[in-house]
């Protein structure tokens, strides 16, 4: 089984919760659905791709974009606090 990263987990959750299809995200980003599928199934996006993804999600659903950022970055902050 693939070791799924934080970005992939967050993307899965947000797309499911806000009912955003892979096709919709890909079209909004101007990329192929295959690229979105790779992120969804375990290939973590780069920092630049995460920024572009966030902008596209915001165009589709501002609430989903807020949730994506909070879940993705909030988890990072929680992890750092646990290590201190």
Quick check: is 1 in a domain? no
Q: How many domains does the chain have?
A: 1
Q: Given the structure tokens 């299809």, which residue do they identify?
A: 21
Q: With respect to residue 21, please indicate whether it lies within any of the assigned structural domains.
A: yes
How far is it, in rounded angstroms, from Cα 72 to Cα 4? 13
Give domain status of residue 56, yes or no.
yes
The answer on pLDDT for 82 being more than 80 is: no
Cα angle 35, 60, 79 (rounded to 5 degrees) comes to 70
- Model pLDDT for residues 20-58, shown as the tens digit of each residue: 999 999 999 999 999 999 998 888 899 999 999 999 999
Q: Which of 29, 22, 32, 36 lies closest to 54, judged by CA? A: 29
Residue 55 placed within a domain: yes
Question: What local confidence, expressed as pLDDT, does residue 52 receive?
Answer: 97
What confidence score (pLDDT) does residue 13 get?
Answer: 96
pTM: 0.82
pLDDT of residue 29: 97
pLDDT at 3 over 80: no
Alpha-carbon distance 16 to 60, whole Å? 13
């Amino acid at each position: 089984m693939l070791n799924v990263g934080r970005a992939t987990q967050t993307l899965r959750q947000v797309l499911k919760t806000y009912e955003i299809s892979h096709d919709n995200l890909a079209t909004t980003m101007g990329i192929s659905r295959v690229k979105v599928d790779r992120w969804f199934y375990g290939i973590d996006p780069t920092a630049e791709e995460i920024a572009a993804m966030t902008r596209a999600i915001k165009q589709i659903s501002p609430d989903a974009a807020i949730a994506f950022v909070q879940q993705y970055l909030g988890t990072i902050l929680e992890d750092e606090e646990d290590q201190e």
